Structure 1
Amino acid sequence: MVCGGATILPRPGPLARGPAVVHYRRGVNVLPGLAVLRSYQRGWWRPDLVAGATVGAMLVPQSMAYAELAGLPPVHGFYAVLVPLVVYALVGTSRHLGVGPEPGTAILAATGVGAIASGDPARYVVLMAALALLVGAIAVLGAVARLGFVASVLSKPVLVGYITGVGLTLLSSQVAAFSGVPITADRFFPRVLQLAQGLGSVHLPTLAVGAGSLAVVLVLRTVAPRVPGALVAVGAATVVVALLPDGAGVPLVGEVPQGLPVPALPLVGAGDLVALLPVAAGIVLVGFTDNVLTARSVAARQGYRVDPNQELLALGLTNLSSGLTQGFPVSSSASRTAVPAALGSRTQVVSLTAAVLVAATLLFLGPALGQVPRAALAAVVVAAAIAIIDVPGYRSLWRVSRSEALLAGVAALGVIVADVLVGVLVAVGLSVLVALARMARPHDAVLGDRPDLDGWVEVETDPRARVEPGLLVYRFDAPLFFLNAERFRSRVLATLEANPGEEEWLVLDLEGVGDLDATALDELGDLVEALRTEGLQRVAVARGNAKVLDRLRRVGLLAPEGPLHPYATINAAVRAFRAARDAR
């Protein structure tokens, strides 16, 4: 296996929890999944095949439902999952991630493509495939540039808000198919208004099929989570509607073409690609973040690691394969990831098994799929929407930080008031603003001596901390750069002014200052000059890393040429202060 430019080689011998514990050597990152398959053990076949059959059963109704959510004929849902399952099994580093169509990605894609397709169904299909290729290209380029760190761009509050907004948007998007009420609006609140105005036109058989299917999915999710509830619900609804006279007028999926997809490049112009670029970037950001978070959560419990850069490459290659086979953008599903892990699966043989079942469905079950009620597929989407509306997440945020809970609410409103793409931009913008605000006004503290701990602690939080007369030890907990350099200078001066006594020495604890830029160096030089006029005898810097000390030395701020005296530890600086005081 390969992770971040290092080949991960399995150690020989049986293992209790999964494929071998790994070690690293430098190598070329090509097909990490093959290393796991090479070390495959006979005892893994049964749990992998059972989990693969279960995931395949989940994928059949979900692929159809999410294709319709994306504005495409249901068969394109199978096209979007068949080859990506195989590709991820070879390229991905997660042994459980359930790649394929996902409702948030589908609705985000539909928002972007619908705006430029001009109501032409054939053009819509081609643009969807082109969008998947564009998503894949961006992700592959990002992996080559080693941009896997972007998985942390969306903070938890913003991600909770974004996902909740997507869930509410999904709910509103299925009102027409679920109830038979004609809905023409494309936003959450207008859809709710049209539903309220059209309650008299509810088609009761359609509503009964939708509500019954939803009840089956939700009940099985609670009492038998390993059972593919969506497949059971859709199958039961199909049988019930088929037994009713003329199907009681419940709309059906209609003809589903049989056969495997034929690879082809979508014929689109450069202008179309430019128009799709913002949508593709948003899908990459949201899809990759979701993939990494989902994969890491399962990997941590199963005892292996996931490499973000390799996952970014995997996202790119799965989307390229989807676009080449007439699919649409894909990412991953939390439910299709959790189920195989719960069933004891060990490897991505799960995905290969699911791919075989999807292929068999395409080849042999086309006529049966055409008899599926659209209301049942709408119920599958509604069940997914209910699952991703993160009420516990809001409760957790509210307990920890009211401001972060409010931030999550703003992100959700950005999605449901405007559209999903705007919601992505709002989410990213809010995450960046929050990060900048925290870096601009980081935590700082005056430190005091705790001899019983042999260390220095914050005076404000520890009443037993002792302040050395004539000495101020100050800590700034962030890299020093243009955004907070002036605040650092003003905080040091304000702290000296507020601190009782005549300070002779100032010790700047630089443990939290991992780096500093040119602006910070200028501010630090001005601070030293200001302190010199205040009569301070010495400014010391303690626990600075090599990079920080080197930059201070380059601009002439570090002793012996400069005014800042470096010490390896706070205690070393304090001993020097005491020795100088005793020598007077």
Structure 2
Amino acid sequence: MTLLPGLAVLRGYQRGWWRPDLVAGATVGAMLIPQSMAYAELAGMPPEYGFYAVLAPLVVYALVGTSRHLGVGPEPGTAILAATGVGAIAAGDPARYLVLMSGLALVVGAVAVLGSLARLGFIASVLSKPVLVGYITGIGLTLLSSQIAAFTGVPIEAGRFFPRVAELLRGVDDVDAATLAVGAGSLAVVLGLRRWAPQVPGALVAVGSATLLVWALPGVAPGVPVVGAVPQGLPSPALPPVSLGDVLALVPVALGIVLVGFTDNVLTARSIAARHGYRIDPNQELFALGVTNLSSGALQGFPVSSSASRTAVPAALGSRTQVVSLVAAALVVATLLFLGPVLGQIPRAALAAVIVAAAFAIIDVRGYRALWRVSRSEALLAVAAALGVVVFDVLVGVLLAVTLSVVVALGRIARPHDAVLGDQPELDGWVEVDAYPGARIEPGLLVYRFDAPLFFLNTDRFRTRVLDTLERNPGDEEWLVLDFEGVGGLDATALDGLTDLTGSLAGLGLKRVAVARANDQVVRRLRKVHLLAPEGPLHHYPTINAAVRDFRSARGTG
């Protein structure tokens, strides 16, 4: 049951859950039919491959996932990231492209499974919120530009956002009125139902209506491109004939998909789980991402992750378990077996409208506003991440997003918050004197706090800040107490830096330098290099108050 938490939930299934689960499953299945086809085309695959990519993952995730609501399957960001990477490797060969796509799904699966075995679930926190907001916005803009040709009928050759927009402006006279009308009408239906009737599968209604309209109105069908023949029947399991060289070439793409897809999966699953009273296991979710992609690749599909909309809808409908996914899978099977001729008549402009609607949903304007209110620098960081995607490409955007996240994290650790502490009796403790003007600084005593682990990146800053604070602090300091509550760890550079600092402090006439509230690991490391008394110059106290009592006793003021 450890590897099959979903099965454990299903074994405890209650009769009262059937109705909401069946209704939610039918709704998700109705959403999946047009979305799977649209996202397959976005990935550069024939539309039926969208069904191949979702069929097995729906069943697999119901058994191995820890979320009871996560809507796994094709997703636009993952699709376009995969298309960007595989397109460069396939070099224009359509048959090779299909093989590499299913091979990529298998490589993504293998990377994710290995990551789960190595307990790397923490990578869900690698992308900070500003960078994730910017990256997702860049993906949304890329999705919008990718559908210009299908939405308007204007031929577009460019592969990036700004050149595509420029081509549209130059070719505005070539816009096909019928194609644009079908696309705009479908988009209006999707957005309208999303706004006023969110429980209705807007994409299915829009695509179905557009298909009937194009079929019924004489003179429209010849001018509006349709999907074309869609093979009926279920896919056969098969391993793609990829070489070791192909696998090695696909690994960087797979790493990007795992990072972004897994981060998105965990954030989406956690947000829903928090509202419904259960928890998400990140390592198990990484394993689930792996096995769902392995199952997709084995059925000739392409890489998958999850959809926020297909997660939110069943939760809003009161579903309780992943029976929703099993019901949706049954509808996909029925579609493949019986609806092939109907699917072939769907206008491509209607599928483009589904993708455009998805793009509108993920362009996080509210996220930018929230970031701007909290931190303008973080808002600008989000803009930089978005530009990395739209100016260069999605893979570069992923790399830039990760790099920016790491740089921001290192910057904060390199220049952390620090403070001089004072005694605030009514609060029963020592607080920052800048935040609490009533806090009293003990004459002859300086209590200083540094809020970060000490390591090679911030050791020099720590030393400089301590010396500068002693110089600025009024009065002749006799004791210096270093509050190490925020110093969770020390590396070798930090230990050398502390040795140098104590040497500098010895020349300032201080009678005692002490550390307070250090954790056991920090204390052990200080003892190993003989920095703690009686061998070394630093005295250790479990609390600030213990150090202050000794100070007052030594001065005869206790």
Q: Show the 5 A alignment for 1:254-293.
A: 254-293=228-267
Contact 1:489 1:527 in 2 (8 A): yes
Please state how far the C-alpha of 1:561 moved relative to its aligned partner: 1.6
Q: Show the 5 A alignment for 1:287-366.
A: 287-366=261-340
Equivalent residue, structure 1, for 2:361: 387
Matched, 1:540 2:514: yes
Matched, 1:230 2:198: no
Between the aligned partners of 1:255 and 1:399, the Cα distance in structure 2 is 51
Between the aligned partners of 2:277 and 2:185, the Cα distance in structure 1 is 40
Equivalent residue, structure 2, for 1:17: none
2:16 corresponds to which letter in structure 1? G
Between the aligned partners of 2:167 and 2:174, the Cα distance in structure 1 is 11
SS in 2 for 1:115: helix
SS in 2 for 1:425: helix
Residue 394 of structure 2, aligned match among 404, 415, 420 = 420
2:439 corresponds to which letter in structure 1? A
Q: Which runs of 4+ in 1 moved over 2 A?
A: none
Contact 1:256 1:367 in 2 (8 A): yes
Contact 2:26 2:327 in 1 (8 A): yes
Residue 25 of structure 2, aligned match among 26, 44, 52 = 52
Residue 195 of structure 1, aligned match among 168, 190, 193 = 168
**Higher mean C-alpha deviation, range 248-257 or range 102-111:** 248-257
TM-score by length of 1: 0.95
Equivalent residue, structure 1, for 2:345: 371
Equivalent residue, structure 1, for 2:459: 485
Between the aligned partners of 2:447 and 2:528, the Cα distance in structure 1 is 25
Equivalent residue, structure 1, for 2:376: 402
Between the aligned partners of 2:426 and 2:202, the Cα distance in structure 1 is 60
2:369 corresponds to which letter in structure 1? R
Equivalent residue, structure 1, for 2:429: 455
SS in 1 for 2:525: helix
SS in 2 for 1:245: coil
SS in 2 for 1:446: strand
Between the aligned partners of 1:149 and 1:183, the Cα distance in structure 2 is 41
> How far does the alpha carbon of each residue in 1:362-412 deviate from its partner, in whole angstroms, 9 at most, with x for none?
011011000000000000000000000000000000001110000000000
> How far does the alpha carbon of each residue in 1:287-343 deviate from its partner, in whole angstroms, 9 at most, with x for none?
000000000000000100000000000000000000010000000000000000000
Between the aligned partners of 1:559 and 1:34, the Cα distance in structure 2 is 57
Residue 441 of structure 1, aligned match among 407, 415, 435 = 415
Contact 1:166 1:415 in 2 (8 A): yes
Between the aligned partners of 1:118 and 1:502, the Cα distance in structure 2 is 73
Contact 1:474 1:492 in 2 (8 A): yes
Between the aligned partners of 1:418 and 1:239, the Cα distance in structure 2 is 40
Please state how far the C-alpha of 1:30 moved relative to its aligned partner: 1.8
Residue 253 of structure 1, aligned match among 227, 234, 256 = 227
Equivalent residue, structure 1, for 2:214: 241
Between the aligned partners of 2:127 and 2:428, the Cα distance in structure 1 is 39
2:286 corresponds to which letter in structure 1? L
Between the aligned partners of 1:162 and 1:45, the Cα distance in structure 2 is 38
Between the aligned partners of 1:373 and 1:498, the Cα distance in structure 2 is 73
Contact 1:76 1:327 in 2 (8 A): yes
Residue 85 of structure 2, aligned match among 102, 105, 112 = 112
SS in 1 for 2:426: coil
Between the aligned partners of 1:75 and 1:93, the Cα distance in structure 2 is 29
Contact 2:3 2:284 in 1 (8 A): no
Please state how far the C-alpha of 1:414 moved relative to its aligned partner: 0.3
Residue 13 of structure 2, aligned match among 40, 43, 47 = 40
2:537 corresponds to which letter in structure 1? P
Please state how far the C-alpha of 1:58 moved relative to its aligned partner: 0.2
1:236 corresponds to which letter in structure 2? S
Matched, 1:99 2:67: no
TM-score by length of 2: 0.99
Please state how far the C-alpha of 1:245 moved relative to its aligned partner: 2.1
Identity of aligned residues (%): 79
Matched, 1:471 2:425: no
2:262 corresponds to which letter in structure 1? F
Between the aligned partners of 2:347 and 2:238, the Cα distance in structure 1 is 30
Contact 1:252 1:371 in 2 (8 A): yes
Please state how far the C-alpha of 1:244 moved relative to its aligned partner: 2.1
Matched, 1:176 2:149: yes
Contact 1:214 1:383 in 2 (8 A): yes
Please state how far the C-alpha of 1:562 moved relative to its aligned partner: 1.4
SS in 1 for 2:556: helix
Equivalent residue, structure 1, for 2:490: 516
Between the aligned partners of 2:80 and 2:3, the Cα distance in structure 1 is 32
Contact 2:6 2:65 in 1 (8 A): yes
Contact 1:75 1:257 in 2 (8 A): yes
Between the aligned partners of 1:226 and 1:506, the Cα distance in structure 2 is 63
Structure 2: give runs of 5+ residues left out of the alignment. Answer: none
SS in 2 for 1:214: helix
Matched, 1:528 2:526: no
> How far does the alpha carbon of each residue in 1:232-273 deviate from its partner, in whole angstroms, 9 at most, with x for none?
000000000001225141000001111111010000112211
Please state how far the C-alpha of 1:583 moved relative to its aligned partner: 7.8
Matched, 1:160 2:133: yes
Contact 2:388 2:397 in 1 (8 A): yes
Contact 1:263 1:325 in 2 (8 A): yes
2:194 corresponds to which letter in structure 1? R
Between the aligned partners of 1:44 and 1:120, the Cα distance in structure 2 is 48
Please state how far the C-alpha of 1:486 moved relative to its aligned partner: 1.0
RMSD of equivalent CA atoms: 0.9
Please state how far the C-alpha of 1:196 moved relative to its aligned partner: 0.3
1:382 corresponds to which letter in structure 2? V
Equivalent residue, structure 1, for 2:104: 131
Contact 1:205 1:248 in 2 (8 A): no
**Higher mean C-alpha deviation, range 113-122 or range 218-227:** 113-122
Contact 2:130 2:371 in 1 (8 A): yes
Between the aligned partners of 2:208 and 2:310, the Cα distance in structure 1 is 19
SS in 2 for 1:508: strand
Between the aligned partners of 1:158 and 1:30, the Cα distance in structure 2 is 32
Matched, 1:145 2:113: no
Between the aligned partners of 1:275 and 1:41, the Cα distance in structure 2 is 47
> How far does the alpha carbon of each residue in 1:186-226 deviate from its partner, in whole angstroms, 9 at most, with x for none?
00000000000101011110100000000000000000000
Contact 2:484 2:516 in 1 (8 A): yes
Between the aligned partners of 2:223 and 2:12, the Cα distance in structure 1 is 54
1:472 corresponds to which letter in structure 2? L
Residue 503 of structure 1, aligned match among 477, 483, 502 = 477
Contact 2:140 2:359 in 1 (8 A): yes
SS in 2 for 1:368: helix
Between the aligned partners of 2:179 and 2:452, the Cα distance in structure 1 is 58
Equivalent residue, structure 2, for 1:205: 178
Between the aligned partners of 2:77 and 2:430, the Cα distance in structure 1 is 49
SS in 1 for 2:515: strand
Please state how far the C-alpha of 1:529 moved relative to its aligned partner: 1.0
Matched, 1:562 2:523: no
1:174 corresponds to which letter in structure 2? Q
